[in-house]
Amino acid sequence: MTWFFDHLDDVLSRGLQHAYLAGVPLVIGLLIALPLGWLARRYKFLYAPFTAGFGLLYTIPSLALFVILPGFLGIPILDPVNVLVAMTIYTVALLVRTVADGLGAVPDHVQQAATAMGYTRVKRFFAIELPLAVPVISAGMRVAAVSNVSIVSVGTILGINQLGLFFSDGFNRDFYDPLFVGIAACIVLALLFDAVIIVLTRLFTPWLRATGGRA
């Protein structure tokens, strides 16, 4: 505990960096997954290749991705952009299927009613399909958030600044206080992300609260 209080500044700054590296890709990944998921729904023949194909990206070992990406992007390996891009890829990998399935869960008669009212395709997406897909997309976001927080710490091996550095500190010195603090901080961060997503979801789905979950 004393170690923790002595190094509070370190914990906070590495925590913030960790949150940045895990959180920003979550938002960018969602923005990329939305049109991809929509396409997978819109054109039936795209559904299987898109969901399976993007899903496969998740199986690329993170370490390999961290090492390969700088070559593609022409940036130094320690550049945070490297991590941001890698985490965005993982987020997209998790979310394309989620978005496609979320949009697919909008009941048929609701879609047809929207068409009959004279919604154009684009307006229908934003006004009807997306809001109704929020609960499913949110569930996928929670998985992606936890996954991102955990994968970012792999950056430790490259020496990228984030909470994982505490693990190597502790391990190298056979001194376990930083190790435990690092683990605890990761868990707290994951819980924080989860809480933010839950609060946002509640804000965007007032009808679910009013009806006790019936929609």
Does residue 56 bind other proteins (CB under 8 A)? no
- Scanning 30-38, 86-94, 103-111, 189-197 for contacts with other proteins by CB under 8 A, the matching segment is 103-111
Does residue 128 bind other proteins (CB under 8 A)? yes
Does residue 112 bind other proteins (CB under 8 A)? yes
Does residue 210 bind other proteins (CB under 8 A)? yes
Q: Which of 3, 4, 20, 119 binds other proteins (CB under 8 A)?
A: 119
Does residue 120 bind other proteins (CB under 8 A)? yes
Q: Which long-range contacts (CB under 8 A, 24 or more apart) does 192-201 make?
A: 192/19, 193/19, 193/22, 193/23, 193/26, 193/142, 193/145, 193/146, 193/149, 194/142, 194/145, 194/146, 197/138, 197/141, 197/142, 197/145, 198/138, 198/142, 200/138, 201/134, 201/135, 201/138
Does residue 110 bind other proteins (CB under 8 A)? yes
Binding mask 143-182 for other proteins (x = CB under 8 A): ----------------------------------------
Does residue 117 bind other proteins (CB under 8 A)? yes
Does residue 202 bind other proteins (CB under 8 A)? no
Binding mask 130-149 for other proteins (x = CB under 8 A): -xx-----------------
DSSP reduced 3-state for 33: helix
- In whole angstroms, give the CA distance from residue 124 to residue 116: 11
- In whole angstroms, give the CA distance from residue 132 to residue 150: 29
- In whole angstroms, give the CA distance from residue 50 to residue 175: 46
For other proteins, the closer of residues 96 and 130 by Cβ is 130
Angle at 28 between CA 43 and CA 52, to 5 degrees: 40
Q: Which residues bind other proteins (CB under 8 A)?
A: 107, 109-110, 112-120, 123, 128, 131-132, 205, 207, 210-211, 214-215
